Amino acid sequence: MSSILSYLPFLSSYAILFYPILSYLTYPSYPRQAAVLIDGKKIAADIHRELAGEVRGLVGDMGRAPHLALVRLGNDPASGSYVRNKTKAADKIGIQSTIHHLPEDTSQAALLSLVHQLNTDDGVDGVLVQLPLPEHMEEKVVCNSVTPRKDVDGFHVINVGRFCVDMHSMAPCTPMGVMELIRRYGIETFGKSAVVCGRSKNVGMPIAMLLHGDGVRTDGENGGFDATTTICHRYTPPEQLRRFVASADILVTAAGLPGLITGDMVKPGCAIIDVGINRITDPSTGKPKLVGDCDFASCVEKAGYITPVPGGVGPMTVAMLMRNTILAAKRSIKY
């Protein structure tokens, strides 16, 4: 017995040393909480209610409702769906909307003539030409034909330039929708690592600029998000893409490539904003369905926040279009 007792100090020291490891191995494990789903539909509905109040005030100031003119060319089903979603939102808020539906073989000159007519119509506050355009038209020329103060899409080169230097401008709708989701969900961005997959001039690049922009503004408008931002694109080598994505606290995908990002690539707790809209065939049903750029099933188990597709960014794009239309109407009172 005395010999056993002599070993107790020795055994107790080892017990203390290995206690954390033994506790970890024997402690019951629990599944990780899945990501918070960012509900773009709910946030968009909240914004619609807020904007409806602004519209009622504007009707008193202007003697009429704000007016959005939409130009659609051809009979592409997707374009038709987008235009209908915009007019439905306008109706809910109290914005007047008018659709100018032109044949697909309309000449560019005829389209520009219509845009000029809308530009000079004092009863129209916002002008939107639904993209994509027919192949015989030049997108840049058409986008730049909309006068900057009525350019509710934010695609005119003057609005893009003013946006880049933090001046008053019509900001692109999808990037502003992404930022509004981040803001309303309280996702921390200051000093965080942000990665944007996609560099399109209308989506990827403006999102990157907003993420890395200075959050301090003196003009009363929302500033940037002070994140350290990396942009990836189609020529980013796969091994580098993995390295960048693994470092991201905020990941925004806008590449149009289903399955580009999988759960094994992302940092635990990362906030994922999936802007991608891709139509694929569901292997289990054989029917078409919409998916984003991220493999949702694997990413939702790893991320802290994630947007579903559909129902994430899409409704926010329309909400920001309504906000831009109201902004254009407010500014028209000052001219």
Q: Where would I find the H helices in the chain?
A: 2-6, 8-26, 40-62, 77-93, 108-119, 139-143, 157-164, 173-184, 204-212, 238-246, 296-299, 314-334
Rounded to an integer, what distance in angstroms lies between the CA atom of residue 323 and that of residue 50?
A: 10
Task: Determine whether 219 is an active site residue.
Answer: no
| Residue among 130, 151, 267, 293 flagged as catalytic | 130
Rounded to an integer, what distance in angstroms lies between the CA atom of residue 126 and that of residue 299?
A: 38
Nearest to 104 by CA among 84, 79, 69, 75: 75
Task: Determine whether 150 is an active site residue.
Answer: no
| Residue among 39, 151, 153, 274 flagged as catalytic | 153
Phi and psi dihedrals of 84, rounded to 5? -65, -40
Q: CA neighbours within 13 Å on the CB side: how many for 13?
A: 4
Rounded to an integer, what distance in angstroms lies between the CA atom of residue 279 and that of residue 262?
A: 18
* C-alpha pair distances (Å), 97 with each of 69, 102, 127, 186, 245: 6, 16, 10, 33, 41
Q: Where would I find the H helices in 221-313?
A: 238-246, 296-299
Rounded to an integer, what distance in angstroms lies between the CA atom of residue 169 and that of residue 149?
A: 8
Task: Determine whether 153 is an active site residue.
Answer: yes
| Residue among 39, 86, 192, 267 flagged as catalytic | 86
User: In residues, how long is the chain?
Assistant: 335
The set of catalytic residues is 86, 130, 153
